[in-house]
Structures are given as structure tokens and as C-alpha cells.
Amino acid sequence: MLLLGESSATQILCDNSITSFGERLNDYETTLNYFRMHFLQVHRKNNENRRVLYTHFTNVVVCGTRLRDS
């Protein structure tokens, strides 16, 4: 099982899957900040009713799936 906090997991999640992540440092804090800023940007762009966005990070467990490089 790979966790976001593990360096190999952030590399798989961001370098190979998300092209807009670009050449950023592949560590836990950089990855969290990237996702936080991405969702804030999308929220601002689509926020016609001036709603407040609350963000938090949670965990997910993937069982029975193999991760592979594409």
C-alpha cells in the first residue's frame, strides 16, 4: 500500500498522472500545497454565489489494484 506521505507515492500520483504538476519538488508538502491551490483556483473561478471553501485532507485505501507506470 502506498501513502501520499511516502516519496514513491507522491511520485506516482503527481509526476506520472498529473501533467500540470510539472517539475515541482515531489515531496509531501509540495504535493499538498499543489492540490490546495488547484482547488482554490477552481473554486474562485466558479464561485458566483461567494461561497466559502473549506479544505481538508483525508485518506483513501485502494485494495486489489496494481499501480503501474504508463
Mean pLDDT split into 10-residue runs, the chain, 70 residues: 52 69 82 88 88 80 64
Cα–Cα separations (whole angstroms), residue 33 to 20, 21, 26: 13, 11, 11
pLDDT at 1: 43
Distance CA(18)–CA(60), nearest Å, equals 18
Distance CA(15)–CA(69), nearest Å, equals 10
CA angle (18 as vertex; 13, 38 as ends), nearest 5: 100
pLDDT at 22: 83
In terms of pTM, does the model score above 0.85? no
